[in-house]
Structure 1
């Protein structure tokens, strides 16, 4: 099964996803979105497939990622938004998704860390770390520094992006073999000057592609690496995030800026302090919940928890984290949650999507436990509990009679003003 986009997307994004074939009518005449070539087996040993738990690699792969060493994989936040570690697995080093018996290392997920300032509507700060249940010795990718990424502005060099994403603008054509394509770096001002959604591309992102289109990443490639050949060493400069359609003219691919987050946010999330960042409860009718938040220290630095700040409705009922946490030690916080109190006044957000005559409204209410430590990198751990409710309503829709070709053109024109993530949609191979 191919996983769907997360629930809290804007109306424009949701419609855009449902109208993928319409992009072809407004873009270049090409049957291959990325218009690249099959990658050679062994060329990209750090390439990682993000897979729905319990599914085979081909049917279950919905995003890409890159192995960055130890027990950590780098991907996009929109790939893992509203997902729990038990929902996914990864295969590190796989090349042919239909040959996982002899390729790659299939590993379970211990924790997911999304950027705290990720915006699901604009895709800003679209970066996440997946922590694995075990440490691997596979070949890792080297991350670019921010200064290296900044230096690309002067020369606009070719970059290489890869994934198992869609190859067609008109059908679902997902390969089992890894594909790659070279696309030129696009300086930020040129990208912003396109206008619309591109005008807000900031330092947290970079652009790549051709003004005339024709080569690009696409749905299924989300979270995968964008690489720069730095004198013979490929370094990751970006993470596949979003774009208007795929391989459209004047619609570059947008990538999270790996260099911007390197030596800062990435270092903090890969320092060995393991915790549960997000718990999700959807349409729950529970009035009381008992939640457990384990902490694990995989780093060589021992640390103490110095303070635990609980939100309204949360009561600490168990705490085994009262002494120093040495390397490989584990402790746990247990809290009792009064749901009515917890959902009365927490951080709240609401989004609506419309399909046909039905509008679905998703409301998320989030409460945060803040744990303070004396660890040199992870001095503050935020553990969120989100209560998600969805409701649907019928709306009156007036439609006019048009020919099928006219309708397709209208959808294609609308799609130009919307943008979409590059994560695979639901049931692509069902």
Structure 2
């Protein structure tokens, strides 16, 4: 399995208008560079000339000295970075170090973050719109702001032209981190060539671009996320992109992916100008339960105005892909609706499938206050229940009807499964499920007692979240703040009892409880008992 890195590459907050400050005199900062050490090179690069990177900024937790991401100072008290670096971190727990060229060095100006703004269309599945702005409590006294690209990347560089990326990330895949700021030159890659790499690379374009060599060898790497990739033009250094993600580091045919600053410039400028950003809460991607071919799936999309200003929804429509039949609207309180602060609306839909496979339905909508198109996606797997096991005496599982018994073997969609942990009638058998184990289609099912986990909650090892192989975060390890978001229950496996609708925090993510989860049901995306939600 290929490891996909976030190189250190949905909804956010209310903007408070900032007071206009007078100009601040800023001086250049030089990192202390040892002269008696042989410096390793960052995946084919070398030490950066810090006089050319006076805008480089480290992103840190407020209680640590080690940066977990990079960024760039863009003037007026704002730092530009990647959305995936900060989306789950409250501003109060974030610091930056402007003109910080040494890991753990403290040579730059360390400043508290006052406000955080994440692009409203940032997608954690595709990593599109991977951009965020951090408003600082004050302007820095060192460093210099960088100029941002506008229009398009092609106005500054052609395919094959070398552009330069810098960071304090790993010097090789799974290797150690740089002690001093490193840089490397990589060529700009066309979207067409980048898309040919397959997988998540097929989504690159519009708001992201690729750079790197077909043979690999030179690249940005883990820990560099959020940092700048630049080009020198007309005697001026211009930031073209933000380090976003990639498969491994410097692998052949696996390019680095960068958020496109020019394509995202309007949003960046709007935040800096004091425009009040919209804040809409909805589930961008949701996996529904499997369903039998021929059955109808009912689903309700919910949209909430989590900001302070009224939002008017327009241009609402549904689309289908995969094996989904054309969706039908069963109810709609959203279209042409104006939502006041904290007000919600709903769109009910039903759809089926034309054949076995994955059925996908999207709700697309716009609001009067923005030109952006918002999309909420749901998908569900259609199972052909007519695919039967030869006559073995095994009970077939019928979703919504069969009441499973622990230890009993059931047939479903051409496979056999053994029930465990008391599955419900809607918990369809599938590999990797908490409730089912794939087993041979034996003729004599054996009933076995369910053994409950015996791990003491206080001795439970910390488990990193399992992430789909298309997008695996590799932000450098940091000490995370322990405080859960206000109004959110901190979930402890084996201890915390919750009610349906409760919002809980678990391993840095937030979930809404449903279907009466037990204390041993670990929160995770796609679970029957939990729905992944945006942390308040």
TM-score tier (shorter): 0.5 to 0.7
Residue 97 of structure 1 aligns to a residue in which SS? coil
Q: Please tell me whether residue 93 in structure 1 is matched to residue 95 in structure 2.
A: no
Measured at CA, do residues 145 and 174 of structure 1 come closer, stay the same or move farther in structure 2, by a change above 3 Å? same
Q: Give me the whole-angstrom Cα distance separating, in 2, the residues matched to 1:224 and 1:83.
A: 18
* Alignment equivalent of 2:139, drawn from 135, 157, 166: 135
Structure 2 matches for 1:265-414, cutoff 5 A?
Answer: 265-273=267-275, 308=310, 394=434
Q: Please tell me whether residue 183 in structure 1 is matched to residue 186 in structure 2.
A: yes
Cα RMSD, aligned residues only: 4.0
Measured at CA, do residues 63 and 170 of structure 1 come closer, stay the same or move farther in structure 2, by a change above 3 Å? closer
* Cα deviation 1:41-75 (Å, max 9, x = unaligned): 3331100000011212x3xx110000000111101
Residue 190 of structure 1 aligns to a residue in which SS? helix
* Alignment equivalent of 1:240, drawn from 223, 230, 243: 243
* Deviation, structure 1 residue 78: 0.5
Q: Give me the whole-angstrom Cα distance separating, in 1, the residues matched to 2:199 and 2:311.
A: 41
* Cα deviation 1:71-119 (Å, max 9, x = unaligned): 111011111112210121100111113321xx21111111111111110
Q: Please tell me whether residue 195 in structure 1 is matched to residue 198 in structure 2.
A: yes
Tell me which residue corresponds to 1:167: 171
TM-score of the superposed pair, with normalisation by structure 1: 0.59
Q: Please tell me whether residue 144 in structure 1 is matched to residue 136 in structure 2.
A: no
Q: Please tell me whether residue 226 in structure 1 is matched to residue 229 in structure 2.
A: yes
* Alignment equivalent of 1:35, drawn from 44, 59, 65: 44
Q: Does the aligned pair in 2 maintain the 1:163–1:180 contact within 8 Å?
A: yes
* Deviation, structure 1 residue 193: 1.9
Q: Does the aligned pair in 2 maintain the 1:152–1:185 contact within 8 Å?
A: no
* Deviation, structure 1 residue 199: 1.4
Tell me which residue corresponds to 1:52: 61
Q: Please tell me whether residue 209 in structure 1 is matched to residue 212 in structure 2.
A: yes
* Alignment equivalent of 2:85, drawn from 76, 79, 84: 79
Q: Does the aligned pair in 2 maintain the 1:276–1:293 contact within 8 Å?
A: yes
* Deviation, structure 1 residue 272: 3.1
* Cα deviation 1:283-313 (Å, max 9, x = unaligned): xxxxxxxxx989xxxxxxxxxxxx64699xx
TM-score of the superposed pair, with normalisation by structure 2: 0.48
Structure 2 matches for 1:98-113, cutoff 5 A?
Answer: 98-100=104-106, 103-113=107-117
What are structure 2's unaligned runs of at least 5 residues?
7-39, 282-305, 314-339, 349-366, 373-431, 440-466, 481-536
Q: Give me the whole-angstrom Cα distance separating, in 1, the residues matched to 2:225 and 2:149.
A: 19
> Which structure is richer in relative contact order (CA contacts within 8 A, separation 6 or more)?
1
Measured at CA, do residues 194 and 216 of structure 1 come closer, stay the same or move farther in structure 2, by a change above 3 Å? same
Q: Give me the whole-angstrom Cα distance separating, in 2, the residues matched to 1:182 and 1:395.
A: 50
* Deviation, structure 1 residue 16: 5.0
* Deviation, structure 1 residue 133: 1.1
Q: Please tell me whether residue 158 in structure 1 is matched to residue 162 in structure 2.
A: yes
* Deviation, structure 1 residue 230: 0.8
Residue 237 of structure 1 aligns to a residue in which SS? strand
Q: Give me the whole-angstrom Cα distance separating, in 2, the residues matched to 1:142 and 1:157.
A: 19
Q: Does the aligned pair in 2 maintain the 1:65–1:73 contact within 8 Å?
A: yes
* Cα deviation 1:97-150 (Å, max 9, x = unaligned): 3321xx211111111111111100110011111111113354100011224x12
Measured at CA, do residues 200 and 245 of structure 1 come closer, stay the same or move farther in structure 2, by a change above 3 Å? same
Q: Which structure dedicates a bigger proportion of its chain to helix?
A: 1
What are structure 1's unaligned runs of at least 5 residues?
1-11, 19-30, 280-291, 295-306, 312-334, 348-369, 373-377, 381-391, 400-414
Q: Does the aligned pair in 2 maintain the 1:244–1:251 contact within 8 Å?
A: yes
* Deviation, structure 1 residue 184: 0.7
Q: Does the aligned pair in 1 maintain the 2:125–2:471 contact within 8 Å?
A: no
Tell me which residue corresponds to 1:412: none
Q: Does the aligned pair in 2 maintain the 1:243–1:421 contact within 8 Å?
A: no
Residue 268 of structure 2 aligns to a residue in which SS? helix
Q: Give me the whole-angstrom Cα distance separating, in 2, the residues matched to 1:336 and 1:238.
A: 34
* Cα deviation 1:383-406 (Å, max 9, x = unaligned): xxxxxxxxx98466789xxxxxxx
